[in-house]
Amino acid sequence: MKDADSFLNTDAGKTFMDERSVFLQVPAQNAVFVPAGWTVYILFADGGALPKKPTLQVAGVLAATIFVKGLFEKAAEPTQRAVWDWNIKHFNTKKSSEMWNERRRAFEAVFKPSK
């Protein structure tokens, strides 16, 4: 990730981003939901016309874990099982943390694989 900016400024980077990206213009003081597995790459502009080559600048990013039962239920059973197993394995490494215990309880209350 250290050279992401360099990679994205190549032809291969442009192709990669064109095939896998969604670009949004977000007004100030608004939020964007980013599903698990997606990465946010922030390009900041002052609200005027975007420059031909935007520069990466500092922006505030708040990440929160939000469990969305409806999305989980729409996933195929093997995907549900993989998400469940991966999370439980991770939670088992954090048993001494009350914060992670609370997250585990929330996760288990919402998600259960269909089989």
Statement to judge: residues 1 and 57 lie in one domain: yes
Task: Give the N- to C-terminal CA distance of the chain in Å, as an integer.
Answer: 37
Residues 3 and 22 both lie in one domain: yes
Residues 33, 57, single domain; the answer is yes
- What's the 3-state SS for 27-67? CCCCCCCCCCCCCCCCCCCCCCCCCCCCCCCCCCCCCCCCC
User: Same structural domain for residues 17 and 52?
Assistant: yes
Q: Which of 36, 20, 17, 31 is nearest to 75 (CA)?
A: 36
pLDDT at residue 25 in the model: 76
42 plus 27 within the same structural domain:
yes
C-alpha 47/C-alpha 12 separation (Å) is 29
Per the domain annotation, does 115 fall within a domain?
no
Clarify whether residues 77 and 35 are in a common domain.
Answer: no
Residues 94-103, mean pLDDT to the nearest whole number? 88
Please, are residues 110 and 72 in contact by the beta-carbon 8 Å criterion?
A: yes
Q: Please determine, for residue 39, whether its predicted confidence score (pLDDT) is greater than 80.
A: no
pLDDT of residue 36 exceeding 70, the answer is no
pLDDT for residue 2 is more than 70: no
Same domain, 20 and 60: yes
> Is 100 among the domain residues?
yes
Tell me if 87 is assigned to some domain: yes
Helix, strand, coil content of the chain in percent (nearest 5):
45, 0, 55
Whether 1 maps to a domain, the answer reads yes
User: Do 52 and 37 sit in the same domain of this protein?
Assistant: yes
Shared domain for 94 and 45, answered yes or no, is no
Burial of 7 (0-12, 13-18, 19+ CB in 10 A): middle
**Domain enclosing residue 45, as ranges:** 1-64
pTM of the predicted model, to two decimals? 0.44
**50 and 18 within one domain:** yes
Residue 80 has pLDDT above 60, yes or no: yes
For residue 113, pLDDT over 70 is answered with: yes
